[in-house]
Amino acid sequence: MHQSIKAPETVVSLLDILFYPDPLLRKIAAPVANVDGRVADLVDNMLDTMYHAPGIGLAATQINVHERIVVIDVSEESDSPITLINPEIKALDGEGEMQEGCLSIPGIFETIKRPSQVQVAAIDREGNPFELEADGLLAVCIQHELDHLDGKLFVDYLSPLKRNRIRKKMIKAAKERDEEEFDDDE
């Protein structure tokens, strides 16, 4: 998901974000076997990448790491990060519509219907299990990011016509990025 957020003052390491229609975005993420220093470092780098992008959520799948890890921060001040490792939706309730965007589909925003409340169980950055109940933007963001772990994108909720139009737009943008990089190398 995407919204305007200021980047933090210090940036540890920025990771490359995959762009739709990259087939790697469709790969289903595997559970994290052990929450250790490697996972904690990955979470920190994912948060830096998300804040810098700027965004409010990032799934490991989006950075070509196919493990069940999500970072989210929907706070106005970008100071309340949530880490969900091996998240599982326990309950969904209600229905709502919200405009969604995605760091893997920059510049595209569409209104998507989703449950308005979610209960999720996960493991935090330190390896502690916890449960979280959320509604509104946080509930939508959690569902959006967990979809990534299952190889699903918000454009999958759109009509085939809209999805194809977005796909063509993203392919054209990728070609333009590649041409700019080629021109910069000369």
Give the domains, in start order, of the chain with CATH numbers. 23-185 (3.90.45.10)
Alpha-carbon gap, residue 134 to 92, rounded angstroms: 10
The pLDDT tens digits of the residues spanning 140-171 come to 999 999 999 999 999 999 999 999 999 999 99
Q: Please give the chain's pLDDT, 186 residues, in tens.
A: 544 444 444 446 789 999 999 999 999 999 999 999 999 999 999 999 999 999 999 999 999 999 999 999 999 999 999 999 999 999 999 999 999 999 999 999 999 999 999 999 999 999 999 999 999 999 999 999 999 999 999 999 999 999 999 999 999 988 887 777 666 655
Is residue 145 among the annotated active site residues?
Answer: yes
Contact 109, 155 (CB under 8 A): no
What pLDDT is recorded for position 7?
44
* Set 9, 110, 131, 145: catalytic member: 145
Entry pTM? 0.88
What pLDDT is recorded for position 179?
79
Burial string for 129-154 (b: 16+ CB within 10 Å, else e) reads eeebebeeebbbbbbbbbbbbebbbb
Report the DSSP beta bridge partners of residue 30.
67
φ/ψ of 104, rounded to 5, equals: -85, -5
Contact 108, 173 (CB under 8 A): no
Alpha-carbon gap, residue 67 to 62, rounded angstroms: 10
Pull the structure tokens for residue 33. Answer: 């076997």
What pLDDT is recorded for position 3?
45
